[in-house]
A and B are shown apart, each in its own frame.
Chain A
Amino acid sequence: MSVLALGSASPLDLPGQARPLLARLDPRSRVMAALVFAAAVVWCQSVAALLAALGLAAGLALLARLPWGTTMRRLLALEGFMLLTLATLPFTMGGPAVVHIAGIGLGVEGLHRALIIVLKANAVVLATLALIGAMELPALGHALARLGLPLRFVALFLFTVRYIEVLYRQYARLRLAMRARAFRPTACLHCWRSLGHLIGMLLVGTLERSERIHAAMRCRGFDGRFHLLDEHRPGRLDWGFGAVQAVSLLLLAALDVM
């Protein structure tokens, strides 16, 4: 299992099983669906609509067959990120106090605002993991190119994805070698320096590797672009999915306005 695979079903891993519904969509549809969903969620302002949006995102996660454990860990990490920013809101936004902690009232407006942000952030992340994260990354790169991103940027993206795998394996090898010599990460200068040397080693090796790649690519006439040979066309499934999503988001907007 590689560092980049979210663990979602790649068709090769599941002999005899049908691919998840989302995996059969055109990659472009998935990217567009994620962007439109995120924009709609950011626009919504009511708790009811955002709860519904979170429900939709959970539905997408089921359709993509996201692995439960990993997904929950990602969402927990997200709550951790937001904790500091959101924890201050109930104290700073005023409104009638609902709870008193150590003599300081927690304002109802701040709690409401914090709840809205938590719902929005989680809904978007869950939908993004389902729609884009579970996709194979080269497919994502091609979708970005077909959606009009500069080919040079897409070439950079595809190259990077390829070499993350290679470098991660190299990193894991070095880390294993350190562990074999009884290295344990703790907060001390020696430890920081050892990790620094680890990444420095990777960097020097990487720079040399990049020279070899450059030479090899030049032999093959590389001009900074990858030519896209696959011809995806959105099929009936894509139009159907798009229609269902459009209706869901309109209902969401209606719920929000009510």
Chain B
Amino acid sequence: MAHIPDGIVSVPVLVAGAVVSLGGLGMGLRRLTPERVPKVAVLAALFFVASLVHFPVGLTSVHLLLGGLAGVILGWAAFPAIAVGLILQAVLFGFGGLIVLGVNIANIALPAVLMGLLGRRFLARPTLAGIIAGGGAVAATALMVAVCLALSGREFLVGAKLLVFTYVPLMAVEAVFTAAVLGLLVKVKPEALEMSS
């Protein structure tokens, strides 16, 4: 449940999420120069499409968030790109509420950007970079969602703890996947990874 629905999160958490999101969007938009708009948009579209692909894991299936990969390729510009994706998911599919949109954007985009930027430092070893960016971003998102729930009321504490465990399969798939894609990019299209400098 990376997309929190409306009606759960308390007002202080809502405000904090909105502030973080606006800050991140500001940072991202400042780095989104006109010549980068088409590139960032096409990648945002790709991440949206990729999130429609369901990976079977055991009896259930997970869909990728790909935030870490977006962070590695786009840097801070990943923030508005992810925000667009989340807005679309909220209004088209009902994934996540409207009033909590700020919280949801913060929970997914902030770890994506930070872990992505961290992962970039290890691009010489794409597998390590993929594990840090892909697995790390999912882990941080899980933690932030759990903290948002726990701060909204003591009664959510147990549910929040359980929630973190449900992210473990996704963390594994996403780490493997991001590592594979980064390996491919380093080989096939290394210039794509210079974008956010």
Closest to B188 in A: A204
B192 to chain A, nearest CB (A): 5
B45 x A166 contact (CB < 8 A): yes
Interface hub of A41, A166, A196, A206 (most chain B Cβ within 10 A): A196
B5 x A110 contact (CB < 8 A): no
| Residues of B contacting A91 in the complex (Cβ-Cβ under 8 angstroms) | 158
B5 x A78 contact (CB < 8 A): yes
| Residues of A contacting B6 in the complex (Cβ-Cβ under 8 angstroms) | 38, 41-42, 120-121, 124-125
A187 x B57 contact (CB < 8 A): yes
**Contact mask A206-244 → B, CB, 8 Å, 1/0?**
110111011001100011110000000000000000000
Check if A176 is an interface residue, CB within 8 A of chain B. no
* Size bin of chain A's contact surface: 35 or more
How many contacts A-B (CB < 8 Å)?
A: 236
A193 x B1 contact (CB < 8 A): no
**Contact mask A107-138 → B, CB, 8 Å, 1/0?**
00010010011011100111011001100010
| Residues of A contacting B23 in the complex (Cβ-Cβ under 8 angstroms) | none
| Residues of A contacting B49 in the complex (Cβ-Cβ under 8 angstroms) | 3, 164, 167-168, 171, 202
CA distance A49 to B33 in the complex (A): 47
B113 to chain A, nearest CB (A): 15
Check if B54 is an interface residue, CB within 8 A of chain A. yes
| Residues of A contacting B177 in the complex (Cβ-Cβ under 8 angstroms) | 192, 196, 199
Q: Of A9-17, A152-160, A249-257, which binds chain B?
A: A152-160
B158 x A88 contact (CB < 8 A): yes
A81 x B1 contact (CB < 8 A): yes
Majority SS of interface residues in chain B? helix
Check if A47 is an interface residue, CB within 8 A of chain B. no
Check if B12 is an interface residue, CB within 8 A of chain A. no
CA distance A132 to B87 in the complex (A): 11
| Residues of B contacting A25 in the complex (Cβ-Cβ under 8 angstroms) | none
CA distance A205 to B83 in the complex (A): 23
A159/B37 contact (C-beta < 8 A), A6-B92, A133-B92 known: yes
A214/B35 contact (C-beta < 8 A), A193-B180, A202-B46 known: yes
Check if A62 is an interface residue, CB within 8 A of chain B. no
Contact of B25 (CB < 8 Å), options: A42, A77, A121, A153: A153
Check if A163 is an interface residue, CB within 8 A of chain B. yes
- Chain A positions within 8 Å of B, measured between CB atoms, are 3-4, 6, 34-35, 38-39, 41-42, 74-75, 77-78, 81-82, 84-89, 91-93, 110, 113, 116-117, 119-121, 124-126, 128-129, 132-133, 137, 140, 150, 152-153, 155-157, 159-164, 166-168, 171, 185-187, 191-193, 195-200, 202-204, 206-207, 209-211, 213-214, 217-218, 222-225
